[in-house]
Amino acid sequence: MNIMRSINLLVSSLLFVLYAPSLLAHGSVVAEGDLCLIKIGFYTSHFKIFQPLASKEREFCEDIPASGESIFVMEYRHQELANVPIEFRIINNITGKGRFAKLEDVQAIKDIDAITVFYQPPTIEPQVFTALHNFEQEGNFLGIVTVKHPQTDQYYSAVFPFSVGVNSWGLIPLFVCFALLAQLIYWTSSGGFGRWRIATKTKLNKRNGFVIKCRPMLIFATSFLLMGASSETTRAQPSWVSDSGSLTVTFKSEINPLPINQMHNWTLHLQDQNGMPVANALITLTGGMPVHNHGFPTNPVMTQYLGNGDYRVEGIRFHMQGDWVLNLVITTVDFMDTVLISVTL
Amino acid sequence: MSRFGSIAAQIKPIIFVVGICFLLLLILLWWSESRPRPWTQAEKSILKTLNIANLPVLKPDPSNAVADNLHAAKFGQSLFFDTRLSGNGKVACATCHQPQRRFSDGLSKAVALGQSQRNTPSIVGSAYSPWLYWDGRKDSQWSQALSPLEDPAEQGSNRMYLARLISNDSFYAKTYVELFGELPDFNDTSRFPENAGPMSYPLWNQAWLNMTAADQYLLSQVFANLGKVLAAYERKLMPGPARFDEYVNAVLHEDDTVPAKELFNSQEIEGLRLFIGEAGCLQCHNGPLLSNNEFHNTGLLPFPGEVPDQGRSKGVEILKNDPFNCLGPFSDEMSHQCQEFTYMRTGSVVLGSMRTPSLRNLGGTAPYMHKGQLSTLAQVMEHYNAAPLALIGHNEAKPLGLSKKQLGQLELFLNTLDAPLSTADEWLLKPDSSTLGNVTE
């Protein structure tokens, strides 16, 4: 019975762990740090949605709060996007897969025009892609961005599900179902049914068994809360993987949110693939605003190793709002690696 | 009791004196607070740069050979007010550029034959700008003057029709010949159709395409010359000295007959202090015309129903391909210097940016901004105080954190910049047809 219980727990946990990453990525639009990115084949671009009439310059990543005039903006990260025609289509999400709809599901639709609510034919936009659609109704939609390869006839599509004005409970109902199901399996497998029958016969005090019976549910609840909490902290303290993939870098600014026109210091934290801190590395920093074609107004320097994989970086100043990048070169006696950190102010 | 009474009697005068001193101190504080701090030497030198007396003499326009020709200016003035220069015979340049409104129209977006894309900018002082239009898609006044004539939403005419109109009007034809030489003979309808012009209605465009390249060139030359006489007129429209300039003069020459304090109240002085200091307005609104004539993204929301305007980044591309630009065949610039054109900033740095307008024409030019998004100066002040995120590109302005009172002071100061034009009245009217051709000045 104990073995059964362990397996059950393991399976539930595994399910949860496997399931968790897809929560943060809806189709081709993903959050990276504070930025919202869309991946169209090998192209990447910043992606944002605005409802200027309703919420002025407030930025949305995918779900938008109400029907009405909505502006889709893509600011290219991959400069080749400036030279290729970009096609944009919004359809009703009839795939039945909700948030997990993928390109295959869209391709399976026979008459896409019948469910298309907005279509912008392929156009070359050298600076920025913009599209405007006035959503007459609330609901669930799929956005499809299609781009041609610069040389070949290959086409790439990005599909991102989003909701308009649907006050979504998100994945909470799904979680509750999973938790209840796991609980049921556990309860049955651990002989709960038998005990229940005895209990009803002997009028045994059920309170004693409550904690044990609800254990998977509790685990789910806790992990869900932790998930929520950790996704919050991910926003505040995102992490970046080095170009070789062997290092993960996080930073803490001594001033939050990141200030403009104010000199301040950071603590960088380096850890390897196993989550162990990386000690005694040399870090050099350069960077700037690629969009503005200018570098930093200062020359930030790593001044001290603080222990436990933490490094002090002094002299950081951002002199305007926008997207900034920091290029880190990390050198130890064993290896050299590079990381690109992007932040938006 | 009596002892207490004697102490009270002793203390009384002391309390009285302390009280009087306290009152005096309060009065002194109030007085120093209400009296504006005198201008520092550094501030005075900034004020001097904004004085209209320091507006440099207008440089010749090498791309326009008749730019400073008086006959051309008179010819241009007639064209400016002539509604025959439009597709329906009802729209002149002056329909949107109204003299009584500082040559603007009081609308969010211009309305002529249709609705145009942007807010009508004032023409006053525009001869000083290397760039015309909000997005700077024109690099001379004469080239700018051509676009509305053929724009279907504006005057909706075509260059063939306009050339015919000139050759059939005795005053226009006579002045044209004096300035530019003989007009082509448009009587051969096999070469010159009734209506023809690119970028307009399909029928006119087709007629244009059917013409030979040589005839197209002849026609475009006449068309360009119309722009050049219009520019000769527009070069005369200049802002006059405002109360602000009088104040600056008084501040700079303290021995002047009018003392500075009679010209500006304390609120206006504080507004001016913010303008040249904390509010950072001078970054873009500098010089005697209060414009750097550059392009900046200030995070304005798009006009309802429109995607964000890309502004200069598109303007640059249009300008490069414009046959009427400084390097084009119709420009009189022979040395092909065109430095402004050659070294202009392009690409994503100018995304969503618009040309800084002069602040000397604020009176009568509301609503403000490139689409007339903001209807009052108070809204403009609030916009810059908040400096919201731009939907495309980046807002170059930073939040100011000024109080409501300070924003009010800024607005009061801006109103002191308003003044009638320095241009003689005869240039601000539709010329009397009986005086046509009589150049007096």
What's the pLDDT tens digit per position in A121-170?
Answer: 999 999 999 999 999 999 999 999 999 998 999 999 999 999 999 765 55
Give the per-residue pLDDT at A230. Answer: 37
Q: Would B288 be classed as within a structural domain?
A: yes
* pLDDT tens by residue, chain B, 441 residues: 556 667 777 888 888 888 888 898 888 887 766 667 899 999 999 999 999 999 999 999 999 999 999 999 999 999 999 999 999 999 999 999 999 999 999 999 999 999 999 999 999 999 999 999 999 999 999 999 999 999 999 999 999 999 999 999 999 999 999 999 999 999 999 999 999 999 779 999 999 999 999 999 999 999 999 999 999 999 999 999 999 999 999 999 876 667 888 899 999 999 999 999 999 999 899 999 999 998 999 999 999 999 999 999 999 999 999 999 999 999 998 876 788 888 888 888 899 999 999 999 998 899 999 999 999 999 999 999 999 999 999 998 999 999 999 999 999 999 999 999 999 999 999 998 655 555 544
Q: Would B29 be classed as within a structural domain?
A: no
* Same structural domain, B275 and B349: yes
* Same structural domain, B178 and B288: no
* Same structural domain, B246 and B234: no
* Same structural domain, B161 and B258: no
Give the per-residue pLDDT at A157. Answer: 94
* Same structural domain, B296 and B358: yes
CB contact under 8 A, A132 and B314: no
* Same structural domain, B321 and B342: yes
* Same structural domain, B267 and B346: yes
Q: Would B423 be classed as within a structural domain?
A: no
Looking up residue B352, the CATH number of its domain turns out to be 1.10.760.10
Interatomic CA distance for residues B127 and A126, integer angstroms: 31
Angle between helices B141-150 and B159-168 (to 10 degrees): 100
Give the per-residue pLDDT at B156. Answer: 96
B322 in reach of chain A (CB within 8 A): no
Contact between A159 and A143 under an 8 Å Cβ cutoff? The reply is: yes
- Find residue A289's DSSP bridge partners: A294
- The single-letter code of the amino acid at A344 is T
Give the per-residue pLDDT at B138. Answer: 98
Which residue, A210, A181, A180, A215, is CA-closest to A195?
Answer: A210
Give the per-residue pLDDT at A174. Answer: 63
Number of Cβ within a 10 Å radius of residue A306:
12
Burial call A128-138: b when 16+ CB within 10 Å, e when fewer = bbbbbbebeeb
Give the per-residue pLDDT at A204. Answer: 46
End of a domain among B223, B238, B253? B238
Give the per-residue pLDDT at A321. Answer: 57
CB contact under 8 A, A56 and B313: no
Contacting residues of B for A53, CB less than 8 Å apart: 304
| Among A127, A289, A324, A345, the residue to mutate for chain B (most B Cβ within 10 A) | A127
Give the per-residue pLDDT at A320. Answer: 60
Give the per-residue pLDDT at B298. Answer: 96
Give the per-residue pLDDT at A7. Answer: 63
Give the per-residue pLDDT at A6. Answer: 64
Nearest by CB to residue B392, choosing from A130, A292, A320, is A130
* Same structural domain, B156 and B255: no
Query: Least CA distance to A71: which residue of chain B?
Result: B307
B382 in reach of chain A (CB within 8 A): no
Nearest by CB to residue B304, choosing from A53, A291, A321, is A53
CB contact under 8 A, A57 and B391: yes
Sequence-distant (6+) residues with CB within 8 A of A185 are A8
Q: Would B439 be classed as within a structural domain?
A: no
Query: Least CA distance to B312: which residue of chain A?
Result: A127
> What integer best gives the mean pLDDT of chain A?
80
Give the per-residue pLDDT at A264. Answer: 79
The per-residue DSSP string of B250-300 comes to HHH-TTSSS-HHHHS-HHHHHHHHHHHTTT-GGGTS-TTTT----EE---P
Give the per-residue pLDDT at B323. Answer: 97
- The single-letter code of the amino acid at A276 is M
Give the per-residue pLDDT at B206. Answer: 96
Token pair recorded at residue B416: 């002191």
Q: Which residues in chain A land under pLDDT 70?
A: 1-26, 167-175, 200-237, 260-263, 291-298, 317, 319-322
Interatomic CA distance for residues A277 and B426, integer angstroms: 81
End of a domain among B238, B269, B291? B238
* Same structural domain, B229 and B317: no
Q: Which domain holds residue B214?
A: 70-238
CB contact under 8 A, B392 and A293: no
Give the per-residue pLDDT at A235. Answer: 40
Q: Are strands A155-164 and A239-241 parallel, antiparallel or unpaired?
A: unpaired
CB contact under 8 A, B348 and A57: no
Nearest by CB to residue B299, choosing from A57, A260, A291, is A57
End of a domain among B238, B258, B279? B238
- The single-letter code of the amino acid at B346 is T
Query: Least CA distance to B346: which residue of chain A?
Result: A127
* Same structural domain, B227 and B246: no
Q: Chain B closest CA to A79's CA: distance in Å? A: 11
Nearest by CB to residue A291, choosing from B310, B314, B348, is B348
B305 in reach of chain A (CB within 8 A): yes
| Number of domains chain B is built from | 2
Which residue, B374, B359, B361, is CA-closest to B410?
Answer: B359
Q: Would B3 be classed as within a structural domain?
A: no
* Same structural domain, B185 and B267: no
Give the per-residue pLDDT at B139. Answer: 96
Query: Least CA distance to A289: which residue of chain B?
Result: B349
Nearest by CB to residue A69, choosing from B304, B347, B393, is B304
Give the per-residue pLDDT at B191. Answer: 96
B321 in reach of chain A (CB within 8 A): no
Q: Chain B closest CA to A291's CA: distance in Å? A: 7
> What domains does chain A contain, in order, with CATH numbers?
2-17+170-235 (no CATH), 34-164 (2.60.40), 239-344 (2.60.40.10)
DSSP for residue B133: S
